[in-house]
Amino acid sequence: MELRSSLQKNFTIWIIFCFLLLTVVGMVVLQHMHFTTSSPTEVTQIYRLLENHIKQYQEIIELQIKKEFESILQKYAIEVKKKTEMTPNRTKYLIYKCAGGIGAVHCSGWGNRLVGILSTYMLSMATDRTFGIIMTNPCPLTETLVPNDYRWNFSMSAFGNMSSISIDVRNNNGFTNSLATIDFNARYPQDVVFIAANQDYLHLLQRNGLYKKKIPPWSRGEMYVKVFQSLFKLSPIAQVELDTFLKKARPNPETKLICAQIRIGKNPTIPWDNRVITPPKLVDVIWKFLNETGNNARIFVTADSENIRRLAKTYYGKRSVDTAGPIIHMDKPYRYNKSEVCEGVRKLILDQFVLIKCDTIVISTSSYARIPAMIHGPKNRFFFINGKIK
């Protein structure tokens, strides 16, 4: 769209210039005809003279337009190359897939899905496969997140009659450890490999003799940040929600936003979680920290418990800010209808982006908060571990 707009703008400028130039030439010639012609022969000569002039100017203008267009095309070719350098033209694919229907698998919660997505991207880089995401379970991911620098949004119809295989390697330590030695494409020669994953492959791929030269020498933190930011940005609707929230949370430049991510684990809101992460009595440590850290700040609390959400609003009153939507576990969105589930998914992801924007954050042990913590950086970042804030 930018290229088309620029070309149209430059073309319009040149057309106007040409029109004005030819108009001036025509007026001069016609004026000359009016005052000096006395015979049809002279008129014919003048018309031919005008025609020759127009042809000369036309050639000059066409040459200039050609040069201008070539310059514009060259400029945008460079920009497009930079924009798509992470999207190589490959004939094989590695697709992170989490979809419903026949053969559907549980894909874990959003935090673990992200780990799997980012690791799958690194595996695609190592194996020279084009990376993609197909996630429609429980809701289409593209309703909340869309591609940023890398086009990852594929549909099943894109793969036509290509050979394919689906592998579920979640919590599969055998597969994960094998990535230090195996030739992935030899083991999976299919055109398309659909994968469900939730483990970190970076350090193993960096040790594999076949792949270590293809994998940047990033730390785990660098990998999470760089790949996440290259892959994702909020959809236009979700971005408007974030902008609206931040205006409310920071009504003026002096207002600070202090945030906490609290994971309780098994609780009445998420009764299907298999363990208690944070006993409710230990949450008082976080409330105390928020009180001492932000006397005049706005307070944002994201949690896996509606009770914690209510307590935050009770304790902080008008200072408390929140995003809309129910609290859900992405892999087990029971109790809610389809519309409510998608609202919950949007809240889940939106809350992550809020955490990134906070002035101070304190987070529980959770893969969900890992990305925001790493993007936020070490300044004013605290961890809630074993009942203590560090």
**For residue 378, what is the domain's CATH number?**
3.40.50.11350
Phi, psi of 382 (to 5 degrees): -130, 150
**Are 75 and 213 contained in the same domain?**
no
How confident is the model at residue 76, as a pLDDT? 46
**Are 247 and 378 contained in the same domain?**
yes
SS3 content of the chain, % helix, strand, coil (to 5): 50, 15, 35
How confident is the model at residue 292, as a pLDDT? 87
**Are 167 and 208 contained in the same domain?**
yes
**Are 344 and 329 contained in the same domain?**
yes
**Are 219 and 116 contained in the same domain?**
yes
Interaxial angle between packed helices 338-357 and 236-249, expressed in degrees from 0 to 180 and rounded to the nearest 10: 50
**Are 212 and 249 contained in the same domain?**
no
**Are 225 and 310 contained in the same domain?**
no
Closest C-alpha among 144, 167, 165, 358 to residue 261: 358
Q: Binning pLDDT at 50, 70 and 90, where does residue 8 land?
A: very low
User: Given 233, 258, 291, which residue is the final one in a domain?
Assistant: 233
User: Given 204, 233, 262, which residue is the final one in a domain?
Assistant: 233
How confident is the model at residue 74, as a pLDDT? 59
Q: Check pLDDT > 90 for residue 92.
A: yes
**Are 274 and 134 contained in the same domain?**
no
**Higher pLDDT pick, 74 / 123:** 123
**Are 268 and 380 contained in the same domain?**
yes
User: Given 233, 255, 290, which residue is the final one in a domain?
Assistant: 233
Q: Give per-residue pLDDT as tens, 70-91.
A: 555 555 444 444 444 444 446 8
Average pLDDT of span 161-189: 95
Please, are residues 228 and 129 in contact by the beta-carbon 8 Å criterion? Answer: no
**Are 61 and 101 contained in the same domain?**
no
**Are 149 and 160 contained in the same domain?**
yes
- For residues 74-102, one letter each, b for 16 or more C-beta atoms within 10 angstroms of the residue's C-beta and e for the rest, the string is eebeeeeeeeeebeeeeebbbbbbbbeee
How confident is the model at residue 103, as a pLDDT? 47
Q: Check pLDDT > 70 for residue 44.
A: no
How confident is the model at residue 389, as a pLDDT? 93
* DSSP, res 319: G
Q: Check pLDDT > 80 for residue 336.
A: yes
- The reply to whether the predicted model has a pTM over 0.85 is no
What are the Cα distances from residue 234, in Å, to 29, 54, 152, 304? Answer: 61, 53, 14, 22
**Are 220 and 253 contained in the same domain?**
no
Q: Which residues contact 356 (CB under 8 A, 6 or more apart)?
A: 372, 375, 376
How confident is the model at residue 335, as a pLDDT? 78
Separation CA 164–CA 293 (nearest Å):
53
Average pLDDT of span 93-111: 80
Counting the structural domains of the chain, the total is: 3
Average pLDDT of span 223-249: 97
Residue 373 domain boundaries = 236-389
